Amino acid sequence: MRHDDRTALVTGGARGIGLEMCRQLADRGLRVLVAARAREAAEEACRAVGPAALPLALDVTSAKSVGEAVLEARELTGRIDVLVNNAGVSLDRELRPPCLDEDVLRATLDTNLTGAWRMAQAVVPGMVEAGYGRVVNVTSSYGSLALMDSGRHPSYRISKTALNVLTRMLAAELAGTGVLVNAADPGWTRSGMGGPAAPRGPEVGADTPVWLATLPEGDGTTGGLFADRRPLPW
Ligand SMILES: NC(=O)c1ccc[n+]([C@@H]2O[C@H](COP(=O)([O-])OP(=O)(O)OC[C@H]3O[C@@H](n4cnc5c(N)ncnc54)[C@H](OP(=O)(O)O)[C@@H]3O)[C@@H](O)[C@H]2O)c1
Protein backbone atom coordinates (compact mmCIF):
# COMPACT_ATOMS: atom_id res chain seq x y z
CA MET A 1 0.00 0.00 0.00
CA ARG A 2 1.27 3.51 -0.85
CA HIS A 3 1.08 6.41 1.61
CA ASP A 4 2.03 9.22 -0.74
CA ASP A 5 0.51 12.13 1.12
CA ARG A 6 1.84 11.13 4.57
CA THR A 7 4.83 12.44 6.51
CA ALA A 8 6.79 10.41 9.06
CA LEU A 9 9.26 11.66 11.64
CA VAL A 10 11.82 9.11 12.81
CA THR A 11 13.91 10.01 15.87
CA GLY A 12 17.43 8.62 15.70
CA GLY A 13 16.82 8.14 11.98
CA ALA A 14 20.35 8.68 10.70
CA ARG A 15 21.85 5.31 11.60
CA GLY A 16 21.12 1.79 12.78
CA ILE A 17 17.56 0.50 12.69
CA GLY A 18 16.21 4.06 12.44
CA LEU A 19 17.98 4.68 9.12
CA GLU A 20 16.55 1.46 7.71
CA MET A 21 13.07 2.50 8.89
CA CYS A 22 13.51 5.77 6.99
CA ARG A 23 14.43 3.82 3.85
CA GLN A 24 11.43 1.50 4.17
CA LEU A 25 9.00 4.34 4.89
CA ALA A 26 10.31 6.26 1.85
CA ASP A 27 9.90 3.09 -0.25
CA ARG A 28 6.23 3.03 0.79
CA GLY A 29 5.79 6.56 -0.49
CA LEU A 30 5.99 8.59 2.71
CA ARG A 31 7.90 11.83 3.07
CA VAL A 32 10.40 11.14 5.86
CA LEU A 33 11.86 13.56 8.37
CA VAL A 34 15.19 11.98 9.30
CA ALA A 35 16.20 13.23 12.75
CA ALA A 36 19.65 13.07 14.31
CA ARG A 37 21.36 15.04 17.00
CA ALA A 38 23.91 16.37 14.47
CA ARG A 39 22.29 18.05 11.47
CA GLU A 40 25.17 16.94 9.22
CA ALA A 41 24.46 13.30 10.14
CA ALA A 42 20.79 13.80 9.26
CA GLU A 43 21.77 15.42 5.95
CA GLU A 44 24.11 12.56 5.07
CA ALA A 45 21.41 10.01 5.92
CA CYS A 46 18.93 11.88 3.71
CA ARG A 47 21.31 11.54 0.77
CA ALA A 48 21.28 7.77 1.39
CA VAL A 49 17.48 7.58 1.74
CA GLY A 50 16.65 9.62 -1.35
CA PRO A 51 14.53 12.61 -2.39
CA ALA A 52 11.65 11.84 0.01
CA ALA A 53 13.91 12.50 3.00
CA LEU A 54 14.35 15.79 4.84
CA PRO A 55 16.91 16.36 7.62
CA LEU A 56 16.09 17.51 11.15
CA ALA A 57 18.39 18.29 14.07
CA LEU A 58 16.80 16.78 17.17
CA ASP A 59 17.97 15.79 20.64
CA VAL A 60 15.07 14.14 22.44
CA THR A 61 16.59 14.89 25.86
CA SER A 62 16.09 18.63 25.29
CA ALA A 63 12.59 20.11 25.44
CA LYS A 64 13.95 23.12 23.51
CA SER A 65 15.36 20.94 20.75
CA VAL A 66 12.11 18.96 20.52
CA GLY A 67 10.07 22.17 20.27
CA GLU A 68 12.31 23.68 17.60
CA ALA A 69 12.51 20.48 15.55
CA VAL A 70 8.74 19.93 15.54
CA LEU A 71 8.20 23.56 14.53
CA GLU A 72 10.71 23.17 11.70
CA ALA A 73 9.08 19.88 10.66
CA ARG A 74 5.67 21.55 10.44
CA GLU A 75 7.15 24.41 8.40
CA LEU A 76 8.77 21.91 6.03
CA THR A 77 5.90 19.47 5.58
CA GLY A 78 2.74 21.02 7.01
CA ARG A 79 2.06 18.14 9.36
CA ILE A 80 3.41 14.99 10.96
CA ASP A 81 1.24 11.90 10.42
CA VAL A 82 3.61 9.28 11.77
CA LEU A 83 5.94 9.50 14.76
CA VAL A 84 8.50 6.75 15.28
CA ASN A 85 10.11 7.08 18.70
CA ASN A 86 13.22 5.12 17.79
CA ALA A 87 15.98 7.09 19.55
CA GLY A 88 17.42 4.99 22.32
CA VAL A 89 20.48 4.40 24.45
CA SER A 90 21.77 1.39 26.34
CA LEU A 91 24.22 2.66 28.96
CA ASP A 92 24.31 -0.08 31.59
CA ARG A 93 27.57 -1.92 31.85
CA GLU A 94 27.96 -4.93 34.14
CA LEU A 95 26.10 -3.49 37.14
CA ARG A 96 22.98 -5.37 38.18
CA PRO A 97 20.45 -4.78 40.99
CA PRO A 98 20.82 -4.27 43.89
CA CYS A 99 23.73 -2.12 42.58
CA LEU A 100 22.48 1.19 41.21
CA ASP A 101 24.22 3.77 39.03
CA GLU A 102 21.91 6.75 39.41
CA ASP A 103 23.51 8.74 36.58
CA VAL A 104 23.04 5.87 34.16
CA LEU A 105 19.44 5.36 35.23
CA ARG A 106 18.64 9.07 34.85
CA ALA A 107 20.33 9.37 31.45
CA THR A 108 18.68 6.20 30.15
CA LEU A 109 15.20 7.26 31.22
CA ASP A 110 15.73 10.76 29.85
CA THR A 111 16.23 9.40 26.32
CA ASN A 112 14.23 6.16 26.20
CA LEU A 113 11.16 7.23 28.19
CA THR A 114 11.02 10.99 28.63
CA GLY A 115 12.36 11.59 25.12
CA ALA A 116 9.51 9.61 23.59
CA TRP A 117 7.03 11.34 25.89
CA ARG A 118 8.37 14.80 24.95
CA MET A 119 7.95 13.89 21.29
CA ALA A 120 4.40 12.64 21.83
CA GLN A 121 3.49 15.82 23.70
CA ALA A 122 4.77 17.95 20.81
CA VAL A 123 3.35 15.88 17.93
CA VAL A 124 0.17 14.09 19.04
CA PRO A 125 -2.13 17.16 19.39
CA GLY A 126 -1.67 17.87 15.66
CA MET A 127 -2.53 14.26 14.87
CA VAL A 128 -5.70 14.44 16.95
CA GLU A 129 -6.69 17.64 15.18
CA ALA A 130 -6.14 15.92 11.82
CA GLY A 131 -8.01 12.78 12.94
CA TYR A 132 -5.12 10.58 11.83
CA GLY A 133 -1.86 9.47 13.39
CA ARG A 134 0.46 6.54 13.93
CA VAL A 135 2.81 6.51 16.90
CA VAL A 136 5.33 3.69 17.17
CA ASN A 137 7.46 3.36 20.27
CA VAL A 138 10.53 1.24 19.59
CA THR A 139 10.88 -0.93 22.64
CA SER A 140 12.61 -4.23 23.45
CA SER A 141 11.75 -7.68 24.72
CA TYR A 142 14.05 -6.64 27.61
CA GLY A 143 11.18 -4.40 28.77
CA SER A 144 8.64 -7.22 28.90
CA LEU A 145 7.62 -8.07 32.48
CA ALA A 146 6.46 -11.48 31.29
CA LEU A 147 9.95 -12.25 29.94
CA MET A 148 11.92 -10.57 32.80
CA ASP A 149 14.34 -13.31 33.82
CA SER A 150 17.57 -11.46 34.62
CA GLY A 151 18.95 -8.24 36.09
CA ARG A 152 21.22 -7.54 33.12
CA HIS A 153 20.91 -4.06 31.60
CA PRO A 154 18.66 -2.85 34.46
CA SER A 155 18.25 0.81 33.48
CA TYR A 156 17.61 -0.12 29.86
CA ARG A 157 15.02 -2.75 30.83
CA ILE A 158 13.21 -0.38 33.18
CA SER A 159 13.19 2.37 30.56
CA LYS A 160 11.60 0.06 27.99
CA THR A 161 9.05 -1.29 30.49
CA ALA A 162 8.13 2.33 31.23
CA LEU A 163 7.94 3.09 27.51
CA ASN A 164 5.50 0.18 27.19
CA VAL A 165 3.37 1.74 29.94
CA LEU A 166 3.44 5.07 28.09
CA THR A 167 2.30 3.21 24.97
CA ARG A 168 -0.70 1.72 26.76
CA MET A 169 -1.68 5.00 28.42
CA LEU A 170 -1.39 7.02 25.21
CA ALA A 171 -3.39 4.43 23.30
CA ALA A 172 -6.14 4.52 25.94
CA GLU A 173 -6.22 8.33 25.97
CA LEU A 174 -6.37 8.49 22.17
CA ALA A 175 -8.98 5.79 21.57
CA GLY A 176 -11.41 6.87 18.87
CA THR A 177 -9.32 9.81 17.65
CA GLY A 178 -7.80 8.07 14.63
CA VAL A 179 -4.39 8.04 16.32
CA LEU A 180 -3.03 4.50 16.80
CA VAL A 181 -0.24 3.92 19.31
CA ASN A 182 1.78 0.73 19.44
CA ALA A 183 5.12 -0.59 20.66
CA ALA A 184 7.49 -2.60 18.48
CA ASP A 185 10.44 -4.78 19.43
CA PRO A 186 12.87 -4.99 16.50
CA GLY A 187 14.64 -8.03 17.97
CA TRP A 188 18.39 -8.38 18.40
CA THR A 189 19.65 -6.46 15.38
CA ARG A 190 23.09 -5.50 14.05
CA SER A 191 23.65 -1.81 14.83
CA GLY A 192 25.70 0.44 17.11
CA MET A 193 23.60 -0.85 20.00
CA GLY A 194 23.06 -4.45 18.89
CA GLY A 195 26.70 -4.97 17.84
CA PRO A 196 28.04 -7.00 14.92
CA ALA A 197 27.11 -10.45 16.32
CA ALA A 198 23.34 -9.87 16.27
CA PRO A 199 21.51 -12.42 14.13
CA ARG A 200 19.28 -10.01 12.21
CA GLY A 201 20.05 -7.18 9.85
CA PRO A 202 18.43 -3.73 10.12
CA GLU A 203 16.00 -4.56 7.27
CA VAL A 204 14.45 -7.27 9.49
CA GLY A 205 14.59 -5.14 12.67
CA ALA A 206 12.84 -2.26 10.92
CA ASP A 207 10.00 -4.35 9.51
CA THR A 208 7.61 -4.45 12.49
CA PRO A 209 7.94 -0.75 13.41
CA VAL A 210 7.35 0.20 9.75
CA TRP A 211 4.34 -2.12 9.55
CA LEU A 212 2.82 -0.39 12.61
CA ALA A 213 3.74 3.06 11.24
CA THR A 214 1.80 2.33 8.06
CA LEU A 215 -1.31 0.59 9.44
CA PRO A 216 -4.01 1.36 6.89
CA GLU A 217 -6.93 3.73 7.44
CA GLY A 218 -9.68 1.93 9.33
CA ASP A 219 -7.26 -0.44 11.08
CA GLY A 220 -7.99 -0.45 14.81
CA THR A 221 -4.70 -1.91 16.05
CA THR A 222 -3.68 0.20 19.04
CA GLY A 223 -2.22 -0.30 22.50
CA GLY A 224 -0.29 -3.38 21.39
CA LEU A 225 3.23 -4.72 21.74
CA PHE A 226 4.57 -6.57 18.71
CA ALA A 227 7.65 -8.42 17.51
CA ASP A 228 7.86 -9.89 14.02
CA ARG A 229 4.32 -8.54 13.45
CA ARG A 230 2.97 -10.80 16.21
CA PRO A 231 1.88 -9.88 19.76
CA LEU A 232 4.62 -10.08 22.39
CA PRO A 233 3.59 -10.58 26.03
CA TRP A 234 3.79 -7.42 28.15
N1 LIG B 1 19.79 -3.26 18.08
C2 LIG B 1 19.09 -4.07 18.84
O3 LIG B 1 19.41 -5.26 19.00
C4 LIG B 1 17.83 -3.56 19.50
C5 LIG B 1 17.00 -4.51 20.14
C6 LIG B 1 15.81 -4.07 20.74
C7 LIG B 1 15.49 -2.73 20.71
N8 LIG B 1 16.31 -1.84 20.07
C9 LIG B 1 15.90 -0.43 20.04
O10 LIG B 1 15.94 0.04 18.70
C11 LIG B 1 16.15 1.46 18.70
C12 LIG B 1 17.27 1.81 17.72
O13 LIG B 1 18.44 1.22 18.20
P14 LIG B 1 19.69 0.84 17.26
O15 LIG B 1 19.96 -0.59 17.51
O16 LIG B 1 19.51 1.32 15.87
O17 LIG B 1 20.83 1.66 18.03
P18 LIG B 1 22.01 2.63 17.54
O19 LIG B 1 22.58 2.14 16.27
O20 LIG B 1 22.89 2.75 18.74
O21 LIG B 1 21.24 4.00 17.28
C22 LIG B 1 20.69 4.73 18.32
C23 LIG B 1 19.96 5.90 17.74
O24 LIG B 1 19.39 6.66 18.81
C25 LIG B 1 19.68 8.00 18.58
N26 LIG B 1 19.76 8.76 19.84
C27 LIG B 1 20.39 8.42 20.97
N28 LIG B 1 20.25 9.39 21.89
C29 LIG B 1 19.52 10.36 21.31
C30 LIG B 1 19.03 11.61 21.74
N31 LIG B 1 19.28 12.11 22.96
N32 LIG B 1 18.27 12.35 20.87
C33 LIG B 1 18.01 11.89 19.64
N34 LIG B 1 18.46 10.71 19.16
C35 LIG B 1 19.20 9.96 20.00
C36 LIG B 1 21.01 8.03 17.84
O37 LIG B 1 21.07 9.24 17.13
P38 LIG B 1 22.44 10.03 16.75
O39 LIG B 1 22.70 9.67 15.31
O40 LIG B 1 22.10 11.45 16.94
O41 LIG B 1 23.51 9.53 17.67
C42 LIG B 1 20.87 6.82 16.94
O43 LIG B 1 20.23 7.14 15.73
C44 LIG B 1 16.46 1.84 20.15
O45 LIG B 1 15.31 2.38 20.75
C46 LIG B 1 16.81 0.51 20.79
O47 LIG B 1 16.56 0.49 22.18
C48 LIG B 1 17.46 -2.22 19.48
Bridge partners of 68, per DSSP, are: none
Ligand 1: which of 49, 70, 193, 228 to mutate, judged by most atoms within 8 Å of the beta carbon? 193
132 in active site: no
Locate the ligand 1 atom nearest the alpha carbon of residue 142 and give its number.
Answer: 6
Name the band, by pLDDT with cuts 50, 70 and 90, for residue 5.
confident
H-state helical runs in the chain: 16-27, 39-49, 63-77, 102-109, 116-130, 154-173, 202-205, 207-213
φ, ψ (nearest 5 deg) of residue 211:
-60, -45
Q: How far is the CA of 74 from the centre of ligand 1 (A)?
A: 24
Q: How far is the CA of 86 from the centre of ligand 1 (A)?
A: 6
| pLDDT digits 0-9 by tens, 157-211 | 999 999 999 999 999 999 999 999 999 999 999 999 999 999 999 999 999 999 9
Q: Which of 185, 186, 169 is nearest to 222 (CA)?
A: 169
Q: Where are the domains of the chain?
A: 7-231
| pLDDT digits 0-9 by tens, 207-228 | 999 999 999 999 999 999 999 9
Which amino acid does the sequence have at 23? R
Rg of the chain over all Cα atoms, to the nearest angstrom: 16
CB distance 163 to ligand 1 below 6 Å: no
The DSSP code for 147 is T
> Could you tell me which CATH class the domain 7-231 is placed in?
alpha beta
φ, ψ (nearest 5 deg) of residue 33:
-90, 110
| pLDDT digits 0-9 by tens, 17-48 | 999 999 999 999 999 999 999 999 999 999 99
Q: Which of 156, 160, 171, 179 is flagged as catalytic? A: 156
Locate the ligand 1 atom nearest the alpha carbon of residue 193 and give its number.
Answer: 20
CB distance 202 to ligand 1 below 6 Å: no
